[in-house]
Amino acid sequence: MKKEVKPANEIKKTIKPVRKSACPYDRRCGGCQYQDTPYKEQLKKKQKTVEKLLSPLCAVKPIAGMKDPLHYRNKVSAAFGRLRNGTYISGVYEENSHRIVPIEECLIEDQKADAIIGTIRGMLKSFKIHTYDEDTGYGLLRHVLVRVGRHSGQIMVVLVLASPILPSKNNFVKALRKEHPEITTIVINVNDKQTSMVLGNKETAIYGKGYIEDSLCDATFRISPKSFYQINPAQTEVLYKKALSLAELTGKERIVDAYCGIGTIGIIAAPHAKEVISVELNRDAVRDAVQNAKKNEIKNISFYQADAGKFMTQMAQQGEHVDVVLMDPPRAGSDEAFMASVVKLSPNRVVYISCNPETLARDLQYFDKHGYKAKEAWPVDMFPFCWDVETVCLLSKLRS
C-alpha cells in the first residue's frame, strides 16, 4: 500500500507548537521570558519567586497585578541597522549579540512609540540618512528612543547619532511631526563611542523643550532623556502608594529619599512630612528633581547629587536625625556603606523598594543582623511578561 504523503503545510498544522506565544519575535528577542505563560500564571510564578527569597525573613503579601498587562512600557528604545539588501531595520538586539531582531510592534511597548519608530525607519531613505555600522564605524543613526507621558500625552523622540549633524534637520522634524503631531520634543543625542551604552553625553533639542512632563500620584514631573523614570506608570502609582502607606507619615518626620531619580517618591511624600532630604547620583536626574520640586511648589525638600552610600556616611558622621528612610536602589541593591549608615542614623522605619528580590533578600539579611526587622513585603508586577519583579518592603527598628 502506498503511504499517504501529506503536503508540507498540513504537516506543519499537525505538529504541536512547542510554545504558543502571541508574540512573533518570541524566539529571537530575549526581552520577555514569560511570553507563552498566561498572565495569572506569571503572577503566581513571581509570587513564588519572592516568597522563596523573602519568606524566611518576613511576611510576603499577594502580588499586585495589572488588569490589562499589554503595551505598558512608556519608554521604547530601538537599535537601527541595515540588511545586506539595503533594507533598513529597527528593533532589539538578539540576546548576547549585536544582531538586530526587526520589530514592527511589540506587545509590551507603547503603540504610539512603535509607530513613531516605524515612521522614522521609513523616512531614512528619502532623507539619505544611513544607519550606523558598528563594525566599520560608518553611518549616522544608531538608536531611537521614545518616551511617552501617559497622563500628559507628551512624547519625546531622541535620535542617537554617531556625529552631531542630521542632514535636512528642519525638514526631518517637519516630516516626522506631520505624521505624528503628538510629538512634543525631538532631541539629538550624540554617541560617538564604541560602546554598548545607548545614549552619549552631548544633547541638543532640535524641536521643543528637550524633555517631557508627566504626572504620577497628582504631582507633575519633568523627565530628561537620560533620567530614570519608571517604565510602567499605572503600576508605579500602586507601588508609590504602598510605599507611602508603609512609611506611615504624620507630617512630623524627617525623611531621606535615597536613589531618588527625578525626585518622584520624595516629592509625593513631602506634603505628609516635615522635611525630605533626597540623594541621587545622576546629574541630569537631580536637575530634573530640583525643577520638579519647584513645579509642584514643594518647599520642604532638598536634593544632593552624590553617591548614596557616601552621602549617608556623611549624614551619620554629622549625627543627623532621621525618622524614615525611603530607599530605591538599582538592581545591584544597596551597599554596606549605605546600610551601615542607616543603622547608625537609627530611623524608626525603612521602606525599601527593590526591582531585584535577590539583592533585596541579601540586604534584608544585613539589616536583620543590625537591628532592623523586615515586617512585610508587597510584590508589585511592574514588568508583565518578564521575569523581573518589584517589591516594596517595610523594615522596623528593633527596640534595643
> Which residues of this protein are in contact with ligand SAH, per CB under 6 A?
228-230, 259-261, 264-265, 279-282, 285, 307-308, 328-330
Q: How many CA atoms, within 13 angstroms, populate the side-chain half-sphere of residue 387?
A: 7
Measured from the CB of residue 353, what is the shortest distance to ligand SAH in angstroms?
7
The answer to whether 229 touches 289, Cβ cutoff 8 Å, is no
CB-based contacts of 28: which residues, under 8 Å, 6+ apart? Answer: 94, 101
Q: How far apart are CA 72 and CA 237, in angstroms?
A: 13
**Helix, strand, coil content of the chain in percent (nearest 5):** 30, 25, 45
Give least dist CB 62 to ligand SAH, A. 22
Write down the catalytic residue from 23, 58, 260, 355: 355
Q: How far apart are CA 53 and CA 40, in angstroms?
A: 20
Whole-angstrom distance, CA of residue 370 vs CA of residue 340: 8
How many whole angstroms separate alpha carbon 376 and alpha carbon 393? 6
**Which CB sits closer to ligand SAH, 129 or 339?**
339
Residue number of the CB atom closest to ligand SAH: 261
Classify residue 119 as exposed, middle or buried by CB count within 10 Å of its CB (0-12, 13-18, 19+): middle
d(CA 262, CA 283): 10
CB-nearer residue toward ligand SAH: 100 or 265 = 265
Q: CB 298 → ligand SAH: shortest distance, Å?
A: 15
Nearer to ligand SAH, 60 or 380 (CB): 380
Nearer to ligand SAH, 305 or 346 (CB): 305
Please give the full DSSP string across 362-386, using - where no structure is assigned. HHHHHHHHTTEEEEEEEEE-SSTTS
Our CB check for ligand SAH shows the closer of 19 and 362 to be 362
Whether 355 is a known active-site residue: answer: yes
Report the nearest approach of ligand SAH to the CB of residue 260 (Å).
5
CB of 98 to ligand SAH, least distance (A): 25
Residues annotated as part of the active site: 355
